[in-house]
Amino acid sequence: MKRGTKTNNFNGPVAGMGIDIVDIPRFRKILASRGKRFIDRIFLPGEKKYCRAKARPWIHYAGRFAAKEAVAKAFGTGIGGKISWRDIEIISADLKAPVVKLSLRAQKLARQRRIRRVFISISHTRAYTTAAALLA
């Protein structure tokens, strides 16, 4: 690798790893039946804006849902008392890889566990979306 080339490599131990998979047609039905209330409970304004701008928004909602689950699993907490859906935001900008933004509450938990970085990857097929999270 050339000197000065940027990578997503990290130096240090892995603090946690999580993965999740979502059945896209099933998730689309959940969105249709539970509607705005469900979306508002899970997703932050920037996530909703991003997903609504897509031709098939349910695919992107499913990807962000899987990513939030993967991050919560990587923390070892799941979604619940220590981390809620809205403590994790998945940001995408200018065709770059998605980035995790943590709320102040989740940042505090990360500091307590000496977590410096949260890596996320999201992938889709026609039927499924999957996300993997790595804490370092």
Furthest CA-CA distance within the chain: 52
List the structure tokens of 57.
């928004």
Percent composition of the chain: helix, strand, coil (DSSP 3-state, to 5): 45, 25, 35
Q: 118, 98, 97, 96: which is closest to 106 by C-alpha?
A: 118
The residue from 73, 82, 101, 108 that is catalytic is 73
Q: Are 66 and 58 a contacting pair, CB within 8 Å?
A: no
Q: Is 60 a catalytic residue?
A: no
Q: Tell me how far apart the alpha carbons of residues 22 and 67 are, in angstroms, rounded to a whole number.
A: 10
Would you please indicate which residues are annotated as catalytic (active-site) residues? 73, 124
